[in-house]
Amino acid sequence: MFGRRACTVVGRETHGPYVVIEVHDPDGPAPAPGQFHMLAAVERWGGGEGERPFLPRAFSVLRARDGRLSFLFDDVGPGTNRLMELDREDEVWVTGPLGEGWRPTDRRPVLIGGGVGIAPLVALADTLDAPEVLLGFRDAHHAEAAATLGSDPNVALATDDGSAGHHGLVTDLLPEDLSDVELFACGPPAMLEAIRQLDVPAQLALESGMACGFGACFGCVTPLAEGGYARVCVDGPVFAAAELAEVPAH
């Protein structure tokens, strides 16, 4: 049930430069928001001369409903390029759910996402009652991914070039009064590091390259405030901001 299984692609959508695929996974364990899966195409994945990559790739669950899982892809290399080619009836190797997800809080949640980092926040937003959501993107084309949240009036946008929403950093959109807030964030390391340095309770979902996804290779460690290291794949990917010494750049 937990191990690798072949799942059929049953849906495919595009949102600007991003692709969302939905796979049928009726026998897999239901993931908690913030958990991830290791994915690899069943066909043409390291199976012949010049075909890359050989290792699966880690992706947070965008949405889990009725035995189906959705994942958000951005074309950043041979692995994501191959996954973005998938269409209905293709098959994907799926391993998971893996890792530790978001933790409940009694404080007012504010969700902050940047780029593909919006994925675990969509899964979290599905479990909350109209949370405040702040999303940052490169430009209006990338900001089309905000549609994965639906037409929620509580979603505010920021773009680097000002072509959609606020012209500037997504952290500029934070409420002035954070006294009762807990921040839930996933996105570029610089964004997460800026949030970590705020004097506000926060949970950060870290992005890291992973070779195994279940703690065996120690390839995704991150430094802790009290010394030592944690493995993003099993101790995270979601950490309390206060636990971390820093959010390392990729």
Tens digits of residue pLDDT in 133-181 = 999 999 999 999 999 998 766 899 999 999 999 999 999 999 999 999 9
H-run or E-run covering 83: helix 78-84
**Domain 108-243, what fold?**
Rossmann fold (3.40.50)
Angle at 216 between CA 213 and CA 217, to 5 degrees: 85
For the question of whether the overall pTM of this predicted structure is more than 0.85, the answer is yes
Q: Both tokens of residue 49?
A: 């001369």
Segment 114-129 shows an average pLDDT of 95
Other beta carbons less than 10 A from residue 67's beta carbon = 14
Domain boundaries, the chain: 5-97, 108-243
Among candidates 160, 33, 49, 164, which has minimal Cα distance to 100? 33
Q: What is the 3-state secondary structure (H, E, C) of 12-37?
A: EEEECCEEEEEEECCCCCCCCCCCEE
Helices (H) and strands (E) in the chain, counts: 5, 16
* CA pair distance 148, 155, nearest whole angstrom: 11
Query: How would CATH label the architecture of 5-97?
Result: Beta Barrel (2.40)
Tens digits of residue pLDDT in 181-209 = 999 999 999 999 999 999 899 999 998 88
